[in-house]
Structure 1
């Protein structure tokens, strides 16, 4: 009988990739993650193009118009304003899509098809299942939205000679700080709550989309009430409606962020409470 000397059993090398439930969530929702990454890259590239390509053309045309006696019709500035408006809107209202996806695909479909119950039967508690389901997209949303906020703040400042909007317009007010991230996380929580409550993908999609739409529009109408305004008086004792100076941006923005995050925390707590109640 011969004995092999100096041989050892091969040792499996463990990679750094996530394992267990986290890896499962990443694999199942990989298309959504790829769409989100593509969206962030597209919006970033669009802002760079508007600033360095389209913006350069607008500035050249404006300079040419100033040299023409009587001026000329500046069409390019209108085009720049449209691009700026669409960029701001798409960033500000991305939470609608996040809420719909979270309600329909992330939670609702899992409960409707029974894959969540299968995971719970394999020693994964419902609480841990929901935690991973929320944590993984929350990280992706935080990273991507932070990039968009930073690029948009630069874009807004660099385009100040061309932009038509003001700091207190809904989209610029929201996109230049953490409030837009708070909306993304709130939409994730609202979608999860709708999915757990309804356990059906399409109804959860509709309810989550409707709730975040209503909440977004409500905050857009009332955020200026979250900080005391300055009453401006004119000559002859006349007075103007209360006004917010530009220095009120951060107080108003942070108060708005706090309101949105409060709703996100309440929705998250309600989702955990409802899940525990239904899985006892």
Structure 2
């Protein structure tokens, strides 16, 4: 690494210190939310389970459990779908704005090569996103795992919860960063790059969410009479055989990690290809 590289990274930190401060506050707020749910709300519900008389005190323990699960789902959505904000930021403020107002071109004339400029622009937020999202995933798993009985059902396959429980969350964030950078380099305008990067990243997620059940072999159960799967199973399809039997294909909870890691690998591959395309584009345009 050249001697100018640390100075360039410090410049990126200084230019985007407000965004980094907001990201830190966001991570801290979500951690506090999770801490309250796991450390205050869940113990309170368990206390009511042992002390509350439904007739005398008019309490509804199943309803409180549903509320707990719903609130946890909100947190999961905030964590799992935060990559959409990353795409908008990367396409707009991080790359697009500097290309549009000429700041990037000015830096390139002062001894900073375009590829080194882009590397610094991506490295700093990538490290912040990985550290922050990794912390949020660990905290969410801490809040999600111990209180499954309070959630009135195993919701492991739900969109936000599926993402927030593992490395798919930082993977999507890194992919959104790369997509935003490439889009900004292509369009060189802040608002169009913001909109297109947001739409492209959202479309990628919708596509992967659609094919998610097929990323790992499903199990099949066949019975002569209609049946219901276990509450923890993710049912993918069901129907009747030619002989009149009933069948259903599904994923048990043990398939979470194979499905999750397959999707994570695809997202990281897209991120790597998009990053390579961004560097190839900036080299070609500044050659």
Same fold (TM over 0.5): yes
Q: Which has the larger radius of gyration?
A: 1
* Counterpart position of 1:132: 120
- Does the aligned pair in 1 maintain the 2:73–2:161 contact within 8 Å? no
* Counterpart position of 2:263: 256
* Counterpart position of 1:196: 185
* Residues 1:224 and 2:231 aligned together: no
* Residues 1:119 and 2:107 aligned together: yes
* Counterpart position of 1:273: 280
Q: Structure 2-normalised TM-score? A: 0.86
* Counterpart position of 2:74: 86
Whole-Å Cα distance in 1 between the matches of residues 10 and 59 of structure 2? 59
Q: Which has the higher strand share?
A: 2
Q: Please give the residue correspondences for 1:30-179 in structure 2 after superposition, counting only pairs within 5 Å.
A: 30-65=17-52, 68=55, 72-74=59-61, 75-164=63-152, 165-179=154-168
Whole-Å Cα distance in 1 between the matches of residues 182 and 95 of structure 2? 8
RMSD: 1.9
Whole-Å Cα distance in 2 between the matches of residues 103 and 252 of structure 1? 29
* Counterpart position of 1:26: 13
How many residues align? The count is 263
Q: Using the TM superposition, give the Cα deviation of residue 160 of structure 1 relative to its aligned residue in structure 2, in angstroms.
A: 1.2
Q: Using the TM superposition, give the Cα deviation of residue 159 of structure 1 relative to its aligned residue in structure 2, in angstroms.
A: 2.0
Gaps of 5+ in 2: 226-243
Q: Using the TM superposition, give the Cα deviation of residue 204 of structure 1 relative to its aligned residue in structure 2, in angstroms.
A: 0.7
- Does the aligned pair in 2 maintain the 1:51–1:155 contact within 8 Å? yes
Q: What's the CA shift string for 1:40-61, capped at 9, x where partnerless?
A: 1111110010111122222223
Q: Using the TM superposition, give the Cα deviation of residue 155 of structure 1 relative to its aligned residue in structure 2, in angstroms.
A: 0.8
* Residues 1:182 and 2:171 aligned together: yes
Secondary structure, counterpart of 1:62 in structure 2: helix
Whole-Å Cα distance in 1 between the matches of residues 245 and 119 of structure 2? 57
Whole-Å Cα distance in 1 between the matches of residues 279 and 53 of structure 2? 62
